Amino acid sequence: MTTTSPTMSETVRLGLDAAIRAPSPHNSQPWRFEVTGARIDVLLDRDRVLDVVDARAREARLSCGAAVLNIRVALLAAGRTTMVHLLPDPHRAELLARLFIRGPRPIAPADTALARAIALRRSNRRPFTERALPVKVRRALVDAACLEGGELTLLDHPGDLDALAALLRHAEHLQSEDPAFRAELARWTVVNGTRDDGVPAVAGGPRPEPGSLLTLRHYEVGPAGSPERPYERQPLVAVLSSYTDTPLAQVRAGQAMQRVLLTATNAGVSASFLSQPVEIPATRAALRRMLGGQPYPQVVLRFGYGFTAPATRRRAVETVTRQRTEEVTP
């Protein structure tokens, strides 16, 4: 139990500081926030949706969902609950979530631990060690998705992993042959320290050796020349799915994704994204069939024990937030 709780504006600030740490494709940060007293609105920033890789804004909604989860987790650790209304206004499709800050409530050690993971989490595209994840940690990842209404399928059977790897290679090939995809990737690959968005080349991993099972998205500035390195021989890959594929389901899946990532961070487990097969409709459909035909795959993640990866930058809270005056209810 804490004895002093932060003021409301400090609490809101805490939530927003956490929100902007969410992951997003190419670190595009497709969010905006509007604050009215103790209410935080999370909005989709259409100008930041990736035209080529995410034309329908599915990944942008996942990212905003992750920002929502970060706010919830950070505020719980500050002794506050949040009442969350997803897609509250049918006439404003970009308004993805409205959070009302409530509380106070006692703080549990688990809340504090999960909140600490928000700043520590990062995408780690580097090779992992050969150490396997213990059953307890695997179960915690699956439970984390479940808690947010998602389903995390660990591809434990070599046949499934091989099938996923084949889809990944196919999708990666299609994307690398597409000039529009390459141009978009180049626009979001940045020289370290020059921008508050985009992926700095230092956050990219080395090229996998020829014959490696998995292929990773490559963020590189200048001519391809980074050394090849062996990746883990038996990667742990998991697919996070939702029951439907509506905008609402995508925001919820984003919360599940982020709870999985924070749970992994908390357990000392690194993660990186392998989104290529869910970004191409044909490979996404094939992956869906592989999972039994019902759930919609939203994110593919690779887990393992790695060495520290660099943090990426974010636009300041002030840049992405609009403070509104309290609305007067008639």
Q: State the residues that interact with ligand FMN by CB under 6 A.
A: 23-27, 59, 62-63, 122-123, 125, 199, 216-217, 272-276, 299, 312
Contact 130, 234 (CB under 8 A): yes
Element (H, E) at 70: helix 58-76
Helix ranges restricted to H, 201-326: 247-266, 276-279, 281-290, 317-320
The least CB distance from residue 41 to ligand FMN, in Å, is 20
Residue appearing with tokens 């992951």: 23
Buried b / exposed e along 234-260 (16+ C-beta atoms within 10 A): ebbbbbbbbeebebebbbbbbbbbbbb
Q: What is the DSSP string of 160-219?
A: HHHHHHHHHHHHHHHHHT-HHHHHHHHHHEE-TTS-SSSEEGGGSPPEEPTT-S------
Residue 41 vs 279, nearer CB to ligand FMN: 279
139 or 173: CB nearest ligand FMN:
173
Q: Which one, 16 or 299, has the nearer CB to ligand FMN?
A: 299
**CA gap 70, 19 in Å, rounded:** 5
**Identity of residue 181:** F
Q: Which residue is nearest to ligand FMN (CB)?
A: 23
Smallest distance from ligand FMN to CB 197, Å = 9
The least distance separating ligand FMN from the CB of residue 12, rounded to whole angstroms, comes to 22
d(CA 148, CA 183): 35
Minimum CB separation of residue 5 from ligand FMN in Å reads: 29
53 or 291: CB nearest ligand FMN: 53
Q: How far is the CB of 129 from ligand FMN (least distance, A)?
A: 19
Q: Which is nearer to ligand FMN, 11 or 258 (CB)?
A: 258
Helix pair angle (247-266, 109-120), 10° resolution = 100
CB of 260 to ligand FMN, least distance (A): 12
Q: How far is the CB of 271 from ligand FMN (least distance, A)?
A: 9
The nearer residue to ligand FMN, 101 or 164, going by C-beta atoms, is 164
